[in-house]
Amino acid sequence: MNLADALDIHARARPTHPALVEGPRHITYAEVARSVRGLASRLLALPPEAPVGVCLRDTAEHVLVLYALARAGRAILPMDARWTEAEKQNVAGHFGASLVLLEPDMACLPGLPCTTVAELAGWPAREVAFPREEAVPLVLSLSSGTTRRPKGPLVTHGQFLARFRTHWINLGLNARDRFLCATPLYFGGGRTFAMSVLFSGGTVAMCPPPAAPEAIVGAIAAHGITSLFLVPTQLRRLLALPDQALAPMRRLRLLFSSGAPLSREERVEIAARLCPEFFEYYASTEGGGVSLLTPADIAAHGESVGRPVFGVEVEVVDEDGRALPPGETGLLRYRGPGCATSYHRDPEASAEAFRDGWFYPGDLASLDDEGFVTLRGRRKDMIIRAGINIHPADVEAALNAHPAVGESAVVAWPSREFGEEIAAFVRLSAPAGAEELLSFARARLPRPKWPRAVFVVEDLPRNAGGKVLKRELAARLPHLP
């Protein structure tokens, strides 16, 4: 089926039910289905083999465009409205966009056809059948790089439907939900969960980022929100509020996070102070959901990212693809019906990441005998000091145990003597000195894992999904003698 078929089903079954809420504006399922079909009939004029760039702000119209492209069988090419013109040009040009949809106040990209949603609505409609095969591409799910070579697979309607199933089975998202969309629609999580709730017949209320933590809590109370997805950065900002201000959070039926891992202490505090029904969802743009840490598992397995979700197989293997015993650290790989099979227009990257039916996300992990997955860091972030492999996550865990540390990020520091040294960047939540933090970490780590230095920073650089950009931190390091 075409994912947009669900909108027609809901429009017939309960036409007046609110699908999208934006401030005082309520858009019913009847209105959504009509708008989506109208826009889709105009998008059919575009070649089916080329994606359409969606460079829009986080509005209800953005969500309508996503489903209109799905209805028309034209692949979505997500583009962050906050990117520079060069970044937009790079992504749209690399993937051969047939059109870029922009806001009225944005300049057209040189050499690329551009239009606005309002102008698109004035194009002539085409009265032909919409594609309904599950192999039709839905989205070019970008995983990295706007100034470098962009990378992303073409994920199909069928693969996305498999991802939606895990939302129903493992998270319980359904037609009764009132979901707050508070992360960028460009970002995989924000886009996927908004589309999933609409597919299920629930209500999506818009709370465009960057929303202050007080604004998120206010929107939860104002719209009777039942479910909420946030990235770790947003959760940390909410934890800075007093308990009284967080009262509406505790009435949520479901709070879940993805995009970057949290520490055990953070998971415990989120469940205690924000919402007892807190889930951490480990996922990727290439493969969708991988594993889920449930509220019942936080106490005993709070250092992990949970167990595999419905239909997903997970293994930890060595460099030759041999499965490792429980507890050993190696390369994480997984496969399932929602997983892509290659990167679009990138055979070299595809050969590295997609092998023998498995996807290798580049994460190091261990798997225990109960099936719990514990992330040990990124393979590319591994530090090799004097021939010893050091997982940044181990050093970060030691630093994060200090009561004044809000968050830390550990990177390799090129060294003539040891090959690589260990540098730690720390965001504080209370006053502390770099030397104090260095001594604290060294007291909890074996000597080979001692940081060479700790750098206190105001904040850590992040991408739209909340992941720390370690390459930017590494670029700040001075040269070692």
Cβ proximity of 74 and 48 under 8 Å: yes
Res. 356 pLDDT band, cuts 50 70 90 = very high
Q: Residue range 218-245: average pLDDT?
A: 94
pLDDT value at residue 471: 86
Boundary of a domain, candidates 360, 379, 398: 379
Looking up tokens 């032909």, which residue turns up?
A: 128
pLDDT value at residue 148: 61
Does the pLDDT value for residue 376 go beyond 50? yes
> Is there a single domain that holds both residue 35 and residue 149?
yes
> Is there a single domain that holds both residue 259 and residue 303?
yes
> Is there a single domain that holds both residue 364 and residue 216?
yes
Question: Which one has a higher pLDDT value, 152 or 101?
Answer: 101
> Is there a single domain that holds both residue 375 and residue 354?
yes
pLDDT value at residue 367: 96
- pLDDT, tens only, 405-452: 999 999 999 887 888 899 999 999 999 999 999 999 999 998 889 999
Partner residues linked to 101 by β-bridges: 54, 115
Query: Residue 411: exposed, middle, or buried by beta-carbon count in 10 A (0-12, 13-18, 19+)?
Result: buried
Whole-number percent of the chain with pLDDT over 90: 75
Q: Which domain holds residue 386?
A: 382-475
| β pairing state of 453-457 and 76-78 | unpaired
- Residue 301 counted as domain residue: yes
Dihedral sign from CA coordinates of 241, 242, 245, 251: positive
> Is there a single domain that holds both residue 233 and residue 374?
yes
> Is there a single domain that holds both residue 358 and residue 424?
no
pLDDT value at residue 465: 67
CA-based nearest residue to 191, from 98, 74, 288: 288
Question: Which one has a higher pLDDT value, 119 or 376?
Answer: 119
pLDDT value at residue 145: 45
Boundary of a domain, candidates 379, 404, 432: 379
Average pLDDT over the chain, rounded to whole?
Answer: 92
Cβ proximity of 374 and 303 under 8 Å: yes
Does the pLDDT value for residue 224 go beyond 70? yes
Boundary of a domain, candidates 379, 394, 413: 379
Total of domains in the chain? 3
- pLDDT, tens only, 268-277: 999 999 999 9
> Is there a single domain that holds both residue 22 and residue 75?
yes
> Is there a single domain that holds both residue 285 and residue 394?
no
pLDDT value at residue 146: 46
- Residue 201 counted as domain residue: no
- pLDDT, tens only, 270-322: 999 999 999 999 998 898 999 999 999 999 999 999 999 999 999 999 989 99
